[in-house]
A and B are shown apart, each in its own frame.
Chain A
Amino acid sequence: AQSVAQPEDQVNVAEGNPLTVKCTYSVSGNPYLFWYVQYPNRGLQFLLKYITGDNLVKGSYGFEAEFNKSQTSFHLKKPSALVSDSALYFCAVRGSARQLTFGSGTQLTVLP
């Protein structure tokens, strides 16, 4: 069975400061890892993914994530946070099957 843990329900950061949203995973075989963002009463918007290759992947809106196989982690990062980044962030994993397994989400609040 595959699983995702997002250990922080809430992350607060000041505008202009770097942000990190943590994610660890468990899956059989090679992981396919994803980050999505959700705004209130909206669907999920794709940010970035890791399938293979370079451990540092870059995505939309200046976000990036680092795949760490030994620590089974895929933390989301951004060098300089914006107030408009405030939203609910989900990490997801899939193995050989097509279905995504999501974490419980992390609410990011960027304070002006």
Chain B
Amino acid sequence: DTGVSQNPRHKITKRGQNVTFRCDPISEHNRLYWYRQTLGQGPEFLTYFQNEAQLEKSRLLSDRFSAERPKGSFSTLEIQRTEQGDSAMYLCASSPLGHPDTDTQYFGPGTRLTVL
């Protein structure tokens, strides 16, 4: 049983550099979500895709953030010109469409970003 996978698991970068994270959802899950979790807080929603269409975006997703899901399978989240405030765990989740379990989001292990 393959769950949601995320790569890399850890990323350390210097302020001002660009970083890109990848998320592979559970097979045949049409919906894909990105969240950000800072220490001591619950996850905060960033954006949501249904197939390749980006349907919802949070105000948290500044101009430096961009997410794509070009073929409706894996997704990438890019942060340009990273800032120390971007240090967080970035979580990806997926859910099926038109299925009894459609409302349940299944999360990956996350990518921990540290910006020095």
Chain A residues at the B interface, C-beta cutoff of 8 Å:
4, 32, 34, 36, 41-46, 49, 51, 90, 92, 94, 97-105
Contact = CB atoms under 8 A, between A and B. Distances in A.
A44 B93 CA distance: 9
Contacts of A103: 42
B103 A36 contact: no
B29 interface: no
Interface stretch (B12-20, B62-70, B71-79, B105-113): B105-113
Interface string B44-62: 1100100000011010000
B40 A100 contact: no
A51 B103 contact: yes
Contacts of B112: 41
A36 B56 contact: no
B104 interface: yes
Contacts of B4: 43
A98 B41 contact: no
A101 B56 CA distance: 14
A43 to B, nearest CB: 4
Contacts of B58: 99
Given A42-B110, A100-B105, 10 more contacts: A44-B43, A44-B107, A49-B103, A97-B56, A98-B31, A99-B33, A100-B45, A102-B43, A104-B42, A105-B41
